[in-house]
Structure 1
Amino acid sequence: MEKVKQASKFEKIAAWCWNLLNEGKPFTPIFSVGTFLLFHFYLLGEGAFWPAFALSLIFIVPLLVIYYLYDFPLFLRNYLWIPIIVYLIMFEGANIGLLLFAAGLYFFFTVFFWGTFYYHLRIGTSWMNFTRFWKLVLKNSDSTSGNAQEQLPKFILILSVWDYSFSILSNGGSVQDVNWQSLLLFYGSLLIYTFILHKYLFDWKPKPVSSYTHNAEVPEKGVNDKVVVIVIDGMRKERFEEADTPYLDYLRKNGTEFAKMETVYPARTVVCFSSMFTGTYPFEHGIKSNMVWRFGVRTESIFDSLRRVKKKGKMLAVAHLVDAFGDDVETFTAVMKNDVVDYKIMEKAKQIMDEQDPELFIVQLISTDQTGHSRGVFYDEYLQKIREADQLVKNFIEHLKETGKAENTTFIICADHGQADGIGGHGHLDEGERIVPFFMYGPAIQKGSVVEEKHSLVSVAPTLAYLLGAPYPSHSRGPVLTEAFKKEGSAK
């Protein structure tokens, strides 16, 4: 049996560091500071440079704070150009050389370093991937570093303001020579403008469930001996419908499908998994992006609930999910060719079921998501990865049947989020992200049922608790997905 390697400590740290560059909020200040230093590289050895650098940096702190607090995803990014126009009118001009250097450095980082070099070394993407990746960066709508239409106006404004104050201070001027009154007026207006935009135009977030889970009492004896959850990371629902997936089609047609299962906001992988397996939202479990500043969810998870009834849960997932769930995650390395990674994950999944035999087992498949990010979702490669996932799920479930572990087991097949156009972006619920594939199959699940009512992935944790006879996690808000269960005495 081919073995999948565990993620090393180095890989876990590297994944955390990469998120600093991947997430838009930390990327903007990191990139701006790095670009400014590189552009003035020839001055770094001069004694006058660093005092001017430090003082001028203070003048852009309010701008960095505004852009850190507020994302400008989707169509909101179009409004980022208006403050630049206002700034140019108020302060008359900008350093074109610095801005062209910044734009060139940005596209080198995203298109060549990230889209080509990084993806080639990590998942084996072609050295020619830049020929497609530049288009994906320009079309990406989510607030990551790969969203050119958001990042370009942000660092254009930051670097323009910074260069304005630096030019004065580095040429013998003082703080009094900087028109700080006009800067204060500009920043105050920008803050009001940004607040109004986000209050009245940023209105597409899902409404959270206001109360804790109460629609069903947990049975004293679990409905099932086991539950297996297979999360096909980043599987966009309409693309799944187009893909050739005979086995997954069989499972959902012989089980219960939730046709309007909604992901959470922001739809980042660590956020989605945290919400799925705690039953609540980022404002309670504390995981608000893939960049986790405080490790571990702040509420009980389904793993904690199972421990209370002396049952075991295990998750097989990529390294950065350790940030949320710690030792309940058995990691696999994501530094592997994308053509083999899901196969090796499923081989490791068989081994865990054979040797550890947990009552709850969660498996994350990542090849579909990685293809969406590296090659885009509207290409045949993306459909091919969904098709491969279909056959791997079939092979895994057949293995469980052969070993007697599928007899009284419910299977849940779903995605954690969809993927939008561009570099398969996800987070702020662009088209293709919000509604995800979700269906349940097993002896306790109704056959041929389709639930059209809208549900949320926060229902996963309480549904798992119900199926396994464990208490709901402490802050579980999602209702149990009772529509999927066979009614007593029903043969359906």
Structure 2
Amino acid sequence: MKKASRFEKVAARCWNVLNEGKPFTPVFIIGLFLLYHAGEWSQLSFWQDGGMAFLWTLPLLALYFTYDFPLHLRTFLWIPFAAAYWLWGGSYLFGLFGLAIGLYFFFTVIFWGTIYYHLRIGTTLWNFTRFWKLVLKNSDSTSGNAQEQIPKFLTLLVVIESAFRLQEIGHQAAGSLVYLYFAATVALFSYLVHRLLFTWKPKEYETYTQNAPADKPLAKKVYMVVIDGCNKDRLEVARSPFLDWLKENGTEFRNMETVYPARTVVCFSSMFTGTYPRYHGIKSNMVYKHGINTESIFDCLRAIGKKGIMLAVAHLVDAFGDDVYTYTAVTKNDVVDTKIINRAKQIVEEEDPDLLIVQLISTDQTGHSRGVFYDEYLEKIAEADALVADFYEWLKARGELEDAAFIVCADHGQSDGIGGHGHLDEGERFVPFIVHGPMIEKGVKVDSWQSLVSVAPTIAYLMGAPYPKEARGPVLTDAIAPSTLQTGEKTNGRADSYYRHSGA
């Protein structure tokens, strides 16, 4: 499989400017304002008056860049719009409103949901017939969240256009303070809404990882497959014989929660540093400063002379740098995961890493492009299951699993809409998480609450590495066989064969 090219890495970063909700809002507003007044560009006064209007709108732009309005909080965004409409009037802006809404749905439904996905992953050119429904239902913190983006940009249009018109007629000085008072009021309103009503963030561990290290390594190697965007509830109804077998012959954590915001780069950063976004510094897929701020599991393995590799999409380079071996995401969705598994086998053969993390993306891409509650999504879970089984059996045939832990999980779930994740809607928070290996308990179901920040400490514990310095998550000791938990001695069991036991 091809590596992600330099162009693809740059393109992925540029796309995130339009894909992520926070940068999209100001870009869309400025672009729309310029388009609406395209006939005035030749006039110097337009740039002078438009520049001043932008300055008076800037506080509100900054505020809406700062605050997401997750889930039901989106409803409150219509209150600032109603206030702005009442203060400055808006009946003369109906044409601008219509242009804005039309361009918004052209961008999300036609350009993004149809043309972009067709060129990148081969989605049908008829995808717009479904995608518009997903945009209207989407709760994700992206530009495709219509219920959040529409009231935001309508409010901003009232503000910037009224400021521009007052500037044109020379009355801006008298009304300038009104814009500042309005922005300050909306800021206080937003703070109170989030403070009083934003109550569903996951709880966090306040102390550093407390577990004493094992006496000696329990696992020679760790192999981990992350099925990106796998909805735990949909997995339960999909055909997944290998993962069912893995649950029965390993340890399943039934209440494993992701982090907030549940975005791919954020979740991977938390999993492999063992800590939260405010410490590792990655707070969305849009990474403004490359590189995590803390130690990762890769750093900890290097400290003891071991090597870890993550096989993943291009934008995870922004967090983990050279520890990521990229693959191109510009691949047909029906073959991309097969190519990823083949590339993972090649890495094992050529580099023999002590830790290999493999990100499968087809399930996530299907959720984003076609929705979670359709048969296509279940089919992709079944496909991922078969590919994980193939990788497991290939590793076993090489003898790689005799002293190794094998982990399968998701980084986040997905909800209704454009495979929504980020705001922790239903279906996003809790993820499948299964651990298997000769040092792992068989047939154990752990129902207590756990967090993905336990991933890095658990891998470090298994491999005899120090914990990442900022790691908060406790080691998942419920999965480790008692005979190995304290002494570091492995059990005598060998890696079982899925096909032998399942009859597949």
Q: TM-score range by the shorter chain?
A: over 0.9
Deviation at 1:220, TM superposition (A): 4.0
| Residue aligning to 1:184 | 180
Structure 1: stretches of 5+ with no match in the other structure? none
Tell me the equivalent position of 1:79. 76
RMSD (CA atoms): 1.2
**Amino acid of the residue matched to residue 28 of structure 2?**
F
| Distance in 2 (alpha carbons) for counterparts of 1:132 and 1:431 | 21
Partner amino acid for 1:183?
Y
- 8 Å contact from structure 2 (residues 140, 418) kept in 1: no
State the match for 1:90 in structure 2: 87
Any residues of structure 2 matched to 1:55-204 within 5 Å, and which?
55-94=52-91, 95-170=93-168, 172-177=169-174, 179-204=175-200
2: CA distance, partners of 1:156 / 1:402? 60
Q: Deviations over 1:389-442 (max 9, x none)?
A: 011011111111121212111111000000011001111111100000001011
Paired amino acid for 1:212: Y
Counterpart for residue 311 of structure 1:
306
Runs of 4+ in 1 over 4 A off after TM superposition: 489-492
The code of the aligned residue for 1:201 comes to L
Are residues 1:226 and 2:225 paired?
Answer: no
Q: What is the DSSP-based 3-state SS (H/G/I as helix, E as strand, rest coil) of the residue aligned with 1:330? A: strand
SS for the counterpart of 1:424 is coil
Give, as a single letter, the amino acid of the residue that structure 1 aligns with 2:48: P
Larger mean Cα displacement after TM superposition, 481-490 or 40-49: 481-490
Verify the 8 A CA contact 2:57 2:179 in the aligned structure 1: no
- Does 1:448 pair with 2:446? no
The equivalences for 1:46-445 within 5 A come to 46-94=43-91, 95-170=93-168, 172-177=169-174, 179-215=175-211, 217-445=212-440
What displacement does 1:335 show?
A: 0.3
8 Å Cα contact 2:438-2:492 kept in structure 1: no
SS where residue 234 of structure 1 aligns? coil
Query: 5+ unaligned residues in a row in structure 2: which ranges?
Result: 485-490, 494-504
**Aligned match of 2:502:** none
* Cα deviation code 1:76-127 (max 9, x no counterpart): 0000011111122222334111111011000000000000000000000000
- Alpha-carbon distance, 1:491 to partner: 8.4
Structure 2: distance between partners of 1:6 and 1:255: 33
Length-normalised TM-score, structure 1? 0.97
Q: Distance in 1 between matches of 2:296 and 2:185?
A: 43
Partner Cα distance (2:111, 2:481) in 1: 52
Moved more, 288-297 or 82-91: 82-91
Return the match for 1:471 from 443, 466, 469: 466
Distance of 1:36 and 1:148 partners within structure 2: 19
Q: Partners of 2:57 and 2:181 in 1: how far apart?
A: 13
- Deviation, structure 1 residue 454: 0.3
2:487 equivalent in structure 1: none
Q: Which amino acid aligns with 1:17?
A: C
Report if aligned partners of 2:88, 2:158 keep a CA contact under 8 Å in 1. Answer: no
Per-residue CA deviation, residues 181-205 of structure 1 (Å, 9 max, x unaligned), is 3323322221111110000001111
Aligned partners of 1:308, 1:146: CA distance in 2, in Å? 42
Distance in structure 2 (CA, Å) of the matches to 1:367 and 1:232: 8
Count of aligned positions: 486
In structure 1, what residue type is equivalent to 2:284? S
Structure 2 residue 31 is the aligned partner of structure 1 residue 34: yes
Q: Which amino acid aligns with 1:71?
A: D
CA distance in 2 between counterparts of 1:469 and 1:398 reads 26
